[in-house]
Structure 1
Amino acid sequence: MVINQNNKNILKDISICFINPPILDYALYDLFAIPLGILKTINLLKFFGIDYFYLDALNKNFDLSYFPKGTIKPTIRSNGTGKYWKKKIEPPVELKFFNREFYRFGLSFEKIIEILKNEISKRKKSFDFIVISSIFTYHYLSLKILIQYLKENFQNTKIIIAGIYPKIIFEHAKSLGADYVFKEDAFEFVKFIFELTSKDNSHIELLKESNLIYKNTQDNDSFDILPDWDLLDNQRYGVIRLTSGCPYNCQYCASKIISGEYKKLDLSYSLTQLSYFVKRNIFNIAFYDDALLIDQNLFLTFIFEARKVSLKFIFYLPNAIHIAKTTKEILNAMQNFKMIRFGLESLNIEDEKYGNKFKIDQLKNLLNNLNESKIPKEVVSFYILVGLPGQSFAEVENTIKTALKLGIKPRIAEYSPIPSTPLFERAKQELIANKKSYINIDEPLFQNPSIYPYIATEFTQENMKKLKNMIYG
């Protein structure tokens, strides 16, 4: 099919609002958090002339006038990461027993409605659809409340929930009151919109002839999609991926549920985005990969090519990289990185729940190589998992003590029980065995890592404070 203007305007009469919603939680921090799914979806739909509006309720750049009295201002670091706007609120009834302050992060629901009404007034037409993005299962309450507000104010608009949350617990997402729940990727979402609006979906094949689609190197039937970075205001950081998925099968992890099998992306996909970031004067770049170093040559080639694009880039690794895959050559390529985080998880490495991803001699070899490298010690840390089923306080305490003796800077990562992972079922069995069956982790609020370890395991608030004092003093 030949691309022409008529093909590209096939959705011009359809109006969609996309919302990255506020979050209700105990804590939330922007560590290079970008709603990539929304940015990719809008970019594809723009190809067909869609009329769209994007509202990021978590935008840290909003003016103080957008928030009610008592809202705490965000603190933003020079690289753009930091704390969100937040206001203390009452926790949901289910969590009132837990003694910790609870917040709404981002815009109030009332303010969202006000913004949408103003936008509709300017457009002189209502939205056909409002799409709400989602990530964590335990943040569903903000979606539920937002849907209630939207239904009360925009009765003729169809509400769609999309993102990772319905991919993990689809049936639960269906209970929130949206008209549609969607759990596939951005390309499939475009097909979904064509179906809902009775458009000729043969036009969708035009996308594969566009510059928005990049086929993966190992599988011609799979591809990734360029995000629309222009949707982000005053952005100080960008994110990239060289791969998707992970070849490991760690019992606590949902990577395969979310991203599928491990695939290498075409290098032109990430390098194209780097060139765009340079034009926007964005040089802080975070990797989003779950398994960045599985193909070490791919990583090294990317770093080599990235330096051709610009020598100003500063890279960050917020996701854990594999100890066994980090060679001297890899460390040499990371000398200008400002954040490097490794997946130590536990020194009880024989326990299969941690994935058997490294041996002690590989850890010691890495530490020797780090000491010989020019990488500043303050940018390197090692994640230690806390609160897993079958994990004792003594095990974690020993891991931290040993890590500190080895010169390792530990970083606690609290466990979240994720449905459909092997450890989720084990967590349920352990609760019954420990006579804590009143804690129902099928209720997503109890899947929150800010509460689950404290109420379901021996990692009480007092014990967790002891561990953190060991690390941070």
Structure 2
Amino acid sequence: MRRLSHPHICWTDNDGPRILGINPWITDFAAFNVWSRPVGLLACLDMLRNAGASVALLDCMDRTWEDVAWPTPGQYATGRYPKETLPLPPAMASMERRYSRYGLPHDHVRQALAALDPPPEAILVTSIMTYWYPGSLHMLDLAAELWPDVPRLLGGTYATLCADHARIHADADLIMQGSMEKRTNWDTLWNLLHRPAPPLPDNAGLGLALDLYNEPNYAPILGSRGCPFTCDYCASHALYPKFTQGEPDRIFASIASEYERGVRDFAFYDDALLVNPDQWLWPLLTRITEAGLDLRLHTPNAMHVRSLTRDVCHRLKQAGLHTVRLGLETTDFENRHDVKLTEQEWKDGANTLLEAGFDLDDIGVYILFGLPNQNPANVEDAIRHVQAFGFRPHLAHYTPIPGSPMFHEAVAASPYPLEQEPLFQNNSIWPCVPGGFNWEDARRWKSLLHGTG
């Protein structure tokens, strides 16, 4: 049950404290929606509701606001966001790029928040990328203006990995490092509400409050948190030190509920989807197939190629996998920064996908670009190698992430103050490429990706 407060922001019908979760705008040079959802925030709201709180969600990237003019949707519910051009941040004033705020119009958001009745008793603002923090800080300021006495908490990637920066710049009562299921974070939130902390609910961190969206056109699937691997360029261990996997019955129930609401596109958010698949993935896919759900599955986070056996590919194809993304990273197989992958394993996995009946247009392959001291010739070799298979190469632009093993190497290679200013961690500026981003090279790489260079 939900109590109407605003057409898109409704309190759930619980008697506990009212807690508003906010996913703020994206501030960047470019943004594209690839089944994006703030899963960390949705996990927090699910936990809080299960503990008795009344929760609501404002997602500034939510396409379901029918009174907003959105660009025409792309394939499988992906697409562009509305945007408003902003002045460049002072630290980036010398860059000849257009900087924008993406998502719902500012006036719509402010009016919706001001109309909340009753008002929140606590506010959770998330931060998905470190360099998107201006949107989070602005949202905190807006909340302070509307409800100066209501506790404001900042969580997410920026709060966790750039906590010192956030403590200086964010108008928040708590900078929440790590996930809500950490006992210190859980207890502190309830202390700010002047209430005793209830026990952590079952399934803490793996359930998602997806029903807070009105008439969604896609939904995430979260079967696990964290990752058992320690790739040099990834900060998964800093964000979620423990690798945990969910229960297939709970995950299927979430999918079935969204399917009943008309959702047909589901995106896996797991960092290690094919690790220990007997734990939850195989039972889940079996349930989907047996229930006859005519849905489309997508893997935007990429799958580990070495795990693509004939059985794996058959199960995925039968259950409805449409968008296949693979993590090749590089064809320099002797000098990798991720899980060791041999050339033979890559070829076997790629060929097995085709044998299972996946269309070439469905398969995209990520190649790392812009690593510290990377030889561009290796990137070109990888692009041509992927194209020789008939697959579509995608450049995965390197983001120097605090907490990742490679970050100190990135700091040494970059001309920008990566440690002091998270804005320069933005992969759009090619922070570790000599000379940084330039349009001529961008056009050249684009032509190579399309096979015309």
Q: Same fold (TM over 0.5)?
A: yes
Q: Deviations over 1:425-466 (max 9, x none)?
A: 0011223xxxx3x54453100001111347656764422321
> Residue 427 of structure 1 corresponds to which residue in structure 2?
410
Matched, 1:338 2:322: yes
For 1:191, the aligned partner's letter is D
Gaps of 5+ in 2: 1-11
Q: Deviations over 1:27-78 (max 9, x none)?
A: 11221111223323223333454344421122223245x6xxxxx7333236
Deviation at 1:253, TM superposition (A): 0.4
CA change 1:311–1:138 in 2 (3 A) is same
- Picking from 427, 435, 447, the partner of 1:449 is 427
For 1:312, the aligned partner's letter is D
Q: Once the two structures are aligned, what percentage of the paired residues are identical?
A: 26
For 1:45, the aligned partner's letter is L
> Residue 250 of structure 2 corresponds to which residue in structure 1?
269
Matched residues, number: 433
CA change 1:55–1:356 in 2 (3 A) is closer
> Residue 80 of structure 2 corresponds to which residue in structure 1?
83
> Residue 292 of structure 1 corresponds to which residue in structure 2?
273
Deviates more, 1:398-407 or 1:332-341: 398-407
Matched, 1:386 2:389: no
Deviation at 1:295, TM superposition (A): 2.1
Matched, 1:161 2:154: yes
Matched, 1:19 2:22: yes
Distance (whole Å) between structure 2 residues aligned to residue 279 and residue 367 of structure 1 = 34
For 2:21, the aligned partner's letter is F
For 1:32, the aligned partner's letter is W
- Picking from 40, 44, 52, the partner of 2:43 is 40
For 1:247, the aligned partner's letter is P
Asked if the contact 2:233–2:407 (Cα under 8 Å) also holds between the matched residues in 1, the reply is: yes
Residues 177-188 of structure 1 mapped to structure 2, 5 A cutoff: 177-187=171-181, 188=183
Q: Deviations over 1:66-113 (max 9, x none)?
A: 6xxxxx733323633211121222221222222222111123444433
Distance (whole Å) between structure 2 residues aligned to residue 275 and residue 52 of structure 1 = 22
> Residue 172 of structure 1 corresponds to which residue in structure 2?
165
Deviation at 1:144, TM superposition (A): 2.0
Q: Deviations over 1:335-371 (max 9, x none)?
A: 232100000001112224x224210111121233233
SS in 1 for 2:43: helix
Asked if the contact 1:60–1:85 (Cα under 8 Å) also holds between the matched residues in 2, the reply is: no
Asked if the contact 1:454–1:460 (Cα under 8 Å) also holds between the matched residues in 2, the reply is: no
> Residue 146 of structure 1 corresponds to which residue in structure 2?
139
For 2:264, the aligned partner's letter is F
Gaps of 5+ in 1: 1-8, 67-71, 215-222
- Picking from 89, 94, 99, the partner of 1:97 is 94
Deviates more, 1:286-295 or 1:238-247: 238-247
> Residue 225 of structure 2 corresponds to which residue in structure 1?
244
Residues 250-329 of structure 1 mapped to structure 2, 5 A cutoff: 250-298=231-279, 299-329=281-311
CA change 1:178–1:363 in 2 (3 A) is same
Distance (whole Å) between structure 1 residues aligned to residue 74 and residue 287 of structure 2 = 28
CA change 1:440–1:247 in 2 (3 A) is closer
SS in 2 for 1:234: coil
Distance (whole Å) between structure 1 residues aligned to residue 437 and residue 106 of structure 2 = 34
Asked if the contact 1:80–1:235 (Cα under 8 Å) also holds between the matched residues in 2, the reply is: no
Asked if the contact 1:322–1:343 (Cα under 8 Å) also holds between the matched residues in 2, the reply is: yes
Asked if the contact 2:430–2:437 (Cα under 8 Å) also holds between the matched residues in 1, the reply is: no
Matched, 1:350 2:334: yes
For 2:86, the aligned partner's letter is I
SS in 1 for 2:77: coil
The TM-score with structure 1 as length reference comes to: 0.84
CA change 1:296–1:59 in 2 (3 A) is closer
CA change 1:13–1:400 in 2 (3 A) is closer
Asked if the contact 1:350–1:356 (Cα under 8 Å) also holds between the matched residues in 2, the reply is: no
Asked if the contact 1:74–1:86 (Cα under 8 Å) also holds between the matched residues in 2, the reply is: no
Distance (whole Å) between structure 2 residues aligned to residue 236 and residue 356 of structure 1 = 34
SS in 2 for 1:381: strand
Asked if the contact 1:22–1:108 (Cα under 8 Å) also holds between the matched residues in 2, the reply is: no
Distance (whole Å) between structure 2 residues aligned to residue 424 and residue 464 of structure 1 = 24
Distance (whole Å) between structure 2 residues aligned to residue 136 and residue 458 of structure 1 = 20
Asked if the contact 1:224–1:265 (Cα under 8 Å) also holds between the matched residues in 2, the reply is: no
CA change 1:288–1:53 in 2 (3 A) is closer
For 2:303, the aligned partner's letter is I
